[in-house]
Structure 1
Amino acid sequence: MENFVLYEEIGRGNTTVVYKGRRKGTINFVAIICTDKCKRVGVANWIRLTQGLTHKNIVTFYEWYETSSHLWLVVELCTGGSLKSVIAQDECLPEDVVREFGIDLVTGLYHIHKHGIIYCELKPGKILLEGSGTLKFSSFCRARADGEDLEKVFALAGAEEGEDINENTVQTYFKSIVQGFPLYTAPEVIKGDNFCKASDLWSLGCLLYEMFSGKPPFLSEGRSELIEKILSEDPLRPGSDSFAFHKPSPEFISLLDGLLQKDPQKSKEDTELPVSSSAKESVDDHENLDNLSSSRAGLKSSSNSFKIETQTELRPKSAADGESNESIFLLSSRPTPRTNSAVEICDATTVPIKNSSQGDSWLKKAENVCSSQQDMESKLKELIYTESDLTVTPIIDNPKIMKQVPVRFDPKALHIPAYSVEKLSSMKDVDWNNFVKRVCSMLESSEKNTGAARSKLNLLYYLCTLVVHKEIANRLISSQLFPILIQQLRAAANWDVRANIARVIGLLALHTSELEENVPVSEAITLLTELIRENFRNSKLKQCFLPALGELLFLIASKEEKGEHPRECWAVPSAAYTVLMRCLREGEERVVNHIAAKIIENVCTTRSYHAQGFITGEIGPVLWYLFTHSTGDSLKITPISALCRITRSSPNAFQSVIEKVGLTAVLNSLANGMCKIQQYMLTMFSAMLSCGIHLQRLIQEKDFVTTITRLLESPSTFIRAKAFLVLLQVLINNREMLLLSCQTRLLMYIERDSRKTMPGKEQQGGSEYLSKCLDLLIYHIVQELPGILGDILSALTNVSGRKHPSTVQAKQLKMCLPMMPVVLHLVTSQVFRPQIVTKEFLFNYGILLEFIRSIDSGETILDRAIGQAASEELIKTTLMTFGAVTEHPSLLMSHRLTVEDSIVPPLVSLVHSQNEEWRLLSLRLLSETTSVLLSHEVMGEEKEESLNSNNKLLSLIRDLLLPQYEHILLAPDPIPMYALKLLVALTDRSPASASLMEENHLFPVLFQLILRYQDSILGNTMQTVIVLLNNIVANKSVNMIPLFQEGLTHHICNLLTEAVALYLEADDKRNTKTANVLLGSLLDILQYMLTYTANIVRQTLQAQKSGAGGDTQAAEDLLLINKPLTDLISLLIQLLPSEDTEIFLSASQSLLLLVQLYGGSNEESMSPENMYSFAEVLKSKEDPRELKLLLKIVKRLITSNKKHLESLKNDGDALIQALESLGQTPSSDVDSAVASLAFDILRAVGHENIKTPK
């Protein structure tokens, strides 16, 4: 099983749990079914029939494994839930959907029948849906081969395996099919016939009927009434008024009539599913669909035997290395989406688990967990023992202790009427008394010969069959029969008679629910004790008398606990306890040991005076010895269970075990034990810790905590819940263990199980218990955090400003500072983060950052007290903790003022750290925090277009950070990238920040960075520089002249040239998106530059026209500086055919600005390649605005440079053709403007034959 990873639970039944799993090393997901060994018969049958059976409509079986108490099956994962859930959700399905589902059912059933298998139990819960909607047959536990005797098959399998698969097991197993509610069971099966193919078709008819109508064809509250309906009544026809919402077709009614024919011999031969011919062909290439769906007749008697050569396929694989540990799967910490897939094993009722959104669920859930620490401890004690820990099973006739011979009596040799239980229950008092007198008379008769003894034994066998019924047991135990039984137990000469009398007494004690004070129970206990003591060497007699003694002891103990009778009513001799203790000791037969342990287990389940008799100083070690020296699973579990129940009243019993064998031996047994053993041992540890016994040793023992934490990987919900409970008690008494728990992934386990127990999810049994345990643990840890952070601050306060801490201070630092990683673990947990990141937490965290600044600057020196490594670890962990907070902007926004006042100032100071790692971390945190806070403020003040420059956050950055920013930007990688990100955040939100950059002479530094990273244009740093430049040039208040003077034009030309080349030649899909974003930003910068230049030129020209004069030199200088941009014209033209609309618009608008400013000064503007690009884009565009833009560019080029006009005349055929198509008669005023521009260009090149548009 080490080849599989186990994920979350996806379904649950009475004895079955279904998990989602994955085969290690692959992405193949599977369903992993964990079922109790009591289902071995059915599971083995499933595997026997379906191994190698592959079909699209059958759940594929892969492999199976066996552990000490469970079977594990690995099968195909179906993520769509069951057909039962679909019907429950939709109530009834349209006929076309029923038809599609019916095709899957018929196809799968035909394949099953073709291989000689009878499915036997076709019902909605056993049909699963794949994600695509395909139906699949699952769980062949009750299937059988056609015509085979299944009892013989399993008898043979049991003989070869040595398993406890007997005749009664198989008979009981298959009788249970019709003992339940036979909603889908064929009439002939109810009458007692064997399952056959025809009975499967009846079930198919019921299924199709239910899908269409929303309910089975026969429905009743009582089983007898339901059977009567199936045998004698016809189902309500789907064509009646009850189906008014959607009427069935005649073909569908005909199909149902044929499938639900009560006598399969009279079934129609022409019944057929209303499906297309192609669907029929999918059933089988050689036979018609009618062969399956049409005939219940003729199938009933057919036989196709299914044989297997060996029984080896009934054997599962063992757990790795033969270990009996249940935790044979790896539990994944990675959450996966839940599905509603569940495989139904035998009679297990699967309960799908629904998804629910997380949101603030944990926060809301934690609000009302506890009102105080005392309340929490009170709730904790209530959770130590659960009903699962105190389950009681019979002592007598318990198959896990020893096999019992079935009780059979001969009615003919009974000498009294063999009344049935029903007859006796309804008997009048007079008749009842006469019956009891006759029974007593026969029991008191002498055993002079063998026939008399045999007759008395036959009567006792008859009584054994009666007293297992509560009503009969209640009446008999209060009658004169009970004293007679005691008398005969003492006086009978035949030991078989005595043994069976003891059995009747034991069964009476087990099944009675009422006990009067005058019943001589004490006399019976005393007599049984004497008989056991007198025959102590006779193991067989002890095995007969001990169960009766145990049942009597448990009976009076339970009555005392309920307060029905005072304990003085039934005195128990001390010899009884002594005898039972002797039966536990070494040297006794294992069956005797087991019975004695079972008696103690049951009696000590009660909180009674009688249970106190077993609580002695030696009971713990004796039971532990029996546990460690036993081999059978049941015998190992019983003594631990008994010890667990004794510990409930006396935790010292478990303490004595630890003192005798050592904690290491106990922990080894815990780690390697079966699920039940682990559950009981965890319960005992909880009981001990809650009482303070062994407290100091356990809470300091790291191996103990580690072992308990490993149990959180168990697939058992109860074990995980109890492990959480033990860890909670450790943490209550020793806060330092929280660090070790975090290091051993406690928080990961809490998160995983919290998802399963969130509000809104269906919870039952173990899940509800797990939820309660988790709530307490989470509550306690949340309450502990302020104390942990407070201790750290207190220790640092005491040494603040000191370079030589005292010995006491150093000791305090060594105790408190190592707990800082706990804060980091909690902040990174989605369960704890919403509960612990509060205003108070962030305020204290700001104080901690001030201490970190002091340590980093050398004002406070901790190296001598805790060492340099520990000091550096403290700083790193502190910064990483706030980093985890910044990943969740909502937390920063919720406490914006606290973050600004308490955290940002020390972060700004730490940016100047001499340590590159701290400087980098601080800068990254400051960048992310600033971005979040500024965006929040912009949204909060909608009326203002920009932030107030006096804002405290901006003031800090302006006064303390920007003056030193040149050194930061030029620092080694990756510091410049985070420094640039901070500037991007500032320029995004605050227009004034661009001016601050100019004041601090940061523009030249940006161009230095461009030169530094020019070889990695797609790198993060270069991209961030370009985004920052874009923000700067987009700001209308920025004076761009200094940027032009620093070489902005030259750098943009180079960057655009390289970016266009990357864009046009990008083959690597990973780089395509990056190149697109980069090119878009550079085109935006180019457009802003050209727009700025155009505005300056326009203003100058307007001033001249108005006679105001004006300085034309500035405009001329600017045009001269930007003249190199004309070299980009050809590149921009090549971008015009781009499919990216934004790239086209930016390129065309920049191109228009360039030709407006510089005309056709670039000689390559109308090269053949460029003209072809113009032609292609003119053909592809339909938007008149885009066409006008392109035509203006062409017109400007040819009218400003005659060479371009000649090039168009000589080499521009494709472009002229495109212009001619645009110059045709326009369909609207907008189109006429396009046509007019096209005509102007054509006229310029001498094409006069085109009509001038109106």
Structure 2
Amino acid sequence: EGFMDIRLESAAQTKADGRKIAIEREISSSTLEEASTSNGDSGLGDLGQSELKDMSVLELAFHSSDLHVKPIVGNRRIEKKHDFQWDAFMLPFEPLTLQEMLELDQESLESFLSSIYKTVASSSSVSERLNILAYFGGLCKDSNSANILINSSLLHMFVTKLRGTKTANLKTHFAYVIGALIRHATFIGEDVPKTGIIDALTESVRDKSEVVRRKSMAALGELLFYIVTQEQEAEEGGMGRPSWYIPNGTITTIVRLLRNVEDPVTQHYAVKTLENIFSIGGAWALRLGTHETALSLVHICTHAKSEHVKVTASSALARLYRCNVDKTQMITDKIGMRTIVGFLKEGNAKVQQHFGSVFILALESASNKTKNALTDEKSLAVTLISLLDHSSPVVRGKAIVGIVQLSKLQMHWFVQVCNAKFIGITERLGRSKDPYVLHCISFLQASMPMIVERLVTQISEGVEKLCGRRSSAQRNRSYQNSSLSSLCHETHLACKALLGIVTSSPFRTACAGGSTLQKIGELVLKLQKGPAGLIAEIKDAVFNILEAISQHGDLLLLNPRDILGSVFPVLSFSMVNSQSGDTRFLSAKMLCDMVLFYISEVYGTAGSSGSEGFAERGGADELLQGQIRESILPSLPALLTDEDPIPLYSLKMMVAILEYEPGLTADVADLGLLPSFVSFLSLDHPNNNVHNLRLCRMMVGTKAVPLNELLGEGIVEKAASVLSYTCENLVEAFMEPSLELCCAIIERAVKEGRGAALEVLASTCTQKIANLGKHSDV
């Protein structure tokens, strides 16, 4: 073989077909990483709804650490690093360091490399050539030198020798040097594909020598990754396609290595190659990302003895899903959801992390087969809840996203995790400082309104079946009893899940949707028709949900129009018409709480910003007044005669209403309730309270109630009696309202010339007030 002159091509002088991505770079999901970084320390719920709606599940399924691209050649997780040793005394030339070589001028550099070329290409002894190749390998570990050397005649000679040499040691060294050059080069010229390097490395991967196979597969994997990167960049940049050709035999060789358990190291290099290619995506990732490849990767995850191989295989599978979304459903059906769920319980945290991504994407495009398979995974909810306490924040975040996806697919899973304290655990995780975890919780928050709406729909459908199947139950009592009992249990669990959301500070605003509130209100009416023994627990849970809504001002203010339009009428109806005393009491209490909130908190300060903001919400002000006139006032007569403590809440509510809108005093008077109010002033009456005292004062103060009617009901004597008892026993709560009532009676009587009617009251007031003056604490 004749010697060839060294031909050097400068990367700066030759137009590159593409540029290799730096091997250490991270491929991250851009919007996720940027948002996580910027919002990392600001706590739960920082991301805007618009940002979250624009975010795909594909972005959330992968943390930036899932997409790191690591070198193939020299990867210590695959094979213990081994630097080939060389002896300076055996070299036929004066050895130069890497830095010294790079500082040579062009002529000296060509002369130096010619010496290496001639010795390796000659018929020198094997030991001499091995020594030179070991030395030369050290010169390849720099991008500047690698760019020069790989684009010279040296590479062509190395490839030729690799194919022609029978000695295993020499083949190993040639593969090692070629791999080092590819690993560190950032530019490979157009002449390199013509050397037959792909065919040579492919043949060597099939070599009998284990060491030759390993070095060759590492070099081939590094080259394929470079080619795929180059082609992807050319396609994205609109440049011409690089002049590389990858034969089918090379692809077949790599795929077969996935099933080769005899040489796990070579297999690991093949898996690492696929992992890196799947990170880039593009045409080659689609070609290699078949369901057969996926099955082989799962087999490696299951049977490999090395944990490092399992991690690489699981990572490759996750990236295969990421770049091959259109085939995800078919691949999942081939692998089986049971297998994927099984790996979520794996002891290796990295494997769990990668299968977390697979699980999320598998749910995103789940087929009926997958949905049916999920039904058989009885412990899935427990598994996902356990992952929320995982030591890895990435696994915790993916568990949250997985639960969201699973809930969108089948609502009963959400009910299960909520009853396993999912909401409470997520609230605790919300105090985390990890950006990814916070991002996943924000995604859960953004998804919660849709989940809640579906949850309420499920509850509503369950209640409707429970309350409307009496006749069918009679036809087949044994079957129906069992069926209804199961349905009742499921519906009750769903109610408990909803209650957990309503009482959760980060998530309860998801319950403020119009259709959600309407369905919750309708549940109250539906439950009044059902068999009491069967639906008792559900009924209690629904009222607990409504009570929680009534006690949280942020919910009441978020959507007052739907609360007033959907919830108020139902409660107004129930507090009068329900057969159950408990239902009437709870309805009255909740209605009272909400009325007091809207009046005192929102309208308490005239012209306040809160009042204006509330009034702007679609005519909520007018709607509140309408509900008071149409629903609450007509109910007063029945409420005041109901069992305790319903009259107490009614009186309390009426005082607030009349202070808010004094013009309604005449309407209350027209209801003919004055005798009731005055009778409540009796000392032994259970409704003798400060609220009734204030109502009586309001009745005295309005001309809609004639003075003769007031006097005829004995209001003077009753007021005097209350004042007397209050002063004698120093009942502090009654002191001011009883004095105000007496003062109002005196003022009204004097104005209308009926002072003679005040004799009893005047003497009582004079005597008791004089006595009060003797007490130092009054």
Match of 1:644 in 2: 318
Alpha-carbon distance between aligned partners in 2 of 1:1044 and 1:632, rounded to the nearest angstrom: 95
Alpha-carbon distance between aligned partners in 2 of 1:793 and 1:1045, rounded to the nearest angstrom: 51
Alpha-carbon distance between aligned partners in 1 of 2:430 and 2:684, rounded to the nearest angstrom: 48
Partner SS state of residue 395, structure 2: helix
Alpha-carbon distance between aligned partners in 1 of 2:329 and 2:454, rounded to the nearest angstrom: 33
| Aligned pairs for 1:801-1200 within 5 A | 804=471, 824=499, 826-831=501-506, 833-834=508-509, 837-838=512-513, 842=517, 844-845=518-519, 849=521, 852-853=524-525, 855-856=527-528, 861-863=529-531, 868-870=533-535, 872-889=536-553, 892=556, 899-912=563-576, 913-935=578-600, 936=602, 952-956=626-630, 959-968=633-642, 970-971=643-644, 978-979=649-650, 981-986=652-657, 988-989=659-660, 992=665, 999-1005=674-680, 1025-1026=689-690, 1029=693, 1037=701, 1042=715, 1044-1045=717-718, 1047-1053=721-727, 1055-1056=729-730, 1079=732, 1081-1085=733-737, 1088=740, 1114-1116=758-760, 1118-1120=762-764, 1123=767, 1132-1133=775-776, 1135=777, 1147=778
| Aligned pairs for 1:513-524 within 5 A | 513-520=186-193, 523-524=196-197
Amino acid at match of 2:188: L
Match of 2:223 in 1: 552
Gap change, CA 1:960 and 1:579, over 3 Å in 2: closer
Q: How far 1:922 sits from its partner (Å)?
A: 0.5
Q: How far 1:614 sits from its partner (Å)?
A: 5.5
Higher helix share: 2
Partner SS state of residue 393, structure 1: coil
CA contact (8 A) 1:712 1:749 kept: yes
Q: How far 1:1088 sits from its partner (Å)?
A: 3.9
CA contact (8 A) 1:485 1:501 kept: yes
Gap change, CA 1:1050 and 1:1004, over 3 Å in 2: farther
Partner SS state of residue 911, structure 1: helix
**Structure 2 stretches of 5 or more lacking a match?**
1-36, 609-620, 703-709
Alpha-carbon distance between aligned partners in 1 of 2:449 and 2:274, rounded to the nearest angstrom: 41
Match of 2:172 in 1: 499
Match of 1:602 in 2: 276
Amino acid at match of 2:449: V
CA contact (8 A) 2:357 2:398 kept: yes
CA contact (8 A) 2:694 2:737 kept: yes
Amino acid at match of 1:1045: K
Q: How far 1:921 sits from its partner (Å)?
A: 1.7
Amino acid at match of 2:220: L
Q: How far 1:540 sits from its partner (Å)?
A: 4.3
Gap change, CA 1:738 and 1:1043, over 3 Å in 2: farther
Amino acid at match of 1:467: C
Partner SS state of residue 965, structure 1: helix
Match of 2:449 in 1: 782
CA contact (8 A) 1:601 1:645 kept: yes
Match of 1:675 in 2: 349
Gap change, CA 1:518 and 1:940, over 3 Å in 2: same
Alpha-carbon distance between aligned partners in 1 of 2:270 and 2:392, rounded to the nearest angstrom: 29
Gap change, CA 1:937 and 1:712, over 3 Å in 2: same
Which residue of the other structure, out of 605, 626, 630, is the alignment partner of 2:300?
Answer: 626
Is 2:76 aligned against 1:399? yes
Partner SS state of residue 914, structure 1: coil
| Aligned pairs for 1:106-505 within 5 A | 354-355=41-42, 365-367=48-50, 369-370=52-53, 379-381=56-58, 384=61, 388-406=65-83, 409=86, 414-448=91-125, 453=127, 455-490=128-163, 495-505=168-178
Moved more, 695-704 or 914-923: 695-704
Alpha-carbon distance between aligned partners in 2 of 1:1117 and 1:427, rounded to the nearest angstrom: 119
Gap change, CA 1:999 and 1:953, over 3 Å in 2: farther
CA contact (8 A) 1:686 1:726 kept: yes
Gap change, CA 1:504 and 1:897, over 3 Å in 2: closer
Alpha-carbon distance between aligned partners in 1 of 2:329 and 2:49, rounded to the nearest angstrom: 34
Partner SS state of residue 676, structure 2: coil
Gap change, CA 1:501 and 1:1090, over 3 Å in 2: same
How many residues are aligned here?
697
Alpha-carbon distance between aligned partners in 2 of 1:1044 and 1:985, rounded to the nearest angstrom: 26
Alpha-carbon distance between aligned partners in 2 of 1:898 and 1:645, rounded to the nearest angstrom: 46
Q: How far 1:482 sits from its partner (Å)?
A: 0.8
Alpha-carbon distance between aligned partners in 1 of 2:244 and 2:150, rounded to the nearest angstrom: 16
CA contact (8 A) 1:522 1:572 kept: no
What is the alpha-carbon root mean square deviation over aligned residues? 5.0
Amino acid at match of 1:782: P
Alpha-carbon distance between aligned partners in 1 of 2:657 and 2:567, rounded to the nearest angstrom: 18
Higher strand share: 1
Amino acid at match of 1:443: V
Partner SS state of residue 569, structure 1: coil
Q: How far 1:512 sits from its partner (Å)?
A: 1.4
Gap change, CA 1:788 and 1:531, over 3 Å in 2: closer
Q: How far 1:670 sits from its partner (Å)?
A: 0.8
Alpha-carbon distance between aligned partners in 1 of 2:522 and 2:258, rounded to the nearest angstrom: 70
Match of 2:20 in 1: none
Which residue of the other structure, out of 577, 582, 585, is the alignment partner of 2:260?
Answer: 585
Alpha-carbon distance between aligned partners in 2 of 1:715 and 1:403, rounded to the nearest angstrom: 28
Match of 2:244 in 1: 569
Gap change, CA 1:917 and 1:504, over 3 Å in 2: farther
Alpha-carbon distance between aligned partners in 2 of 1:385 and 1:1116, rounded to the nearest angstrom: 84
Q: How far 1:690 sits from its partner (Å)?
A: 3.7
CA contact (8 A) 2:678 2:718 kept: no
Structure number with the bigger relative contact order (C-alpha 8 A, sep ≥ 6) is: 2
Between Structure 1 and Structure 2, whose CA radius of gyration is higher? 1
Gap change, CA 1:647 and 1:568, over 3 Å in 2: farther
Alpha-carbon distance between aligned partners in 2 of 1:840 and 1:880, rounded to the nearest angstrom: 19
TM-score, normalised relative to structure 2: 0.73
Alpha-carbon distance between aligned partners in 1 of 2:469 and 2:169, rounded to the nearest angstrom: 90
Alpha-carbon distance between aligned partners in 2 of 1:907 and 1:747, rounded to the nearest angstrom: 28
Gap change, CA 1:732 and 1:799, over 3 Å in 2: closer
CA contact (8 A) 1:442 1:456 kept: yes
Match of 2:10 in 1: none
Cα deviation 1:294-345 (Å, max 9, x = unaligned): xxxxxxxxxxxxxxxxxxxxxxxxxxxxxxxxxxxxxxxxxxxxxxxxxxxx
CA contact (8 A) 1:525 1:549 kept: yes
Partner SS state of residue 141, structure 2: coil
CA contact (8 A) 1:443 1:456 kept: yes
Alpha-carbon distance between aligned partners in 2 of 1:653 and 1:960, rounded to the nearest angstrom: 61
CA contact (8 A) 1:389 1:680 kept: yes
Moved more, 925-934 or 551-560: 551-560
Q: How far 1:925 sits from its partner (Å)?
A: 1.0
CA contact (8 A) 1:601 1:638 kept: yes
Q: How far 1:481 sits from its partner (Å)?
A: 0.7
CA contact (8 A) 1:560 1:566 kept: yes
CA contact (8 A) 2:651 2:692 kept: yes
Which residue of the other structure, out of 479, 500, 508, is the alignment partner of 2:181?
Answer: 508
Q: Percent identity at matched positions? A: 21
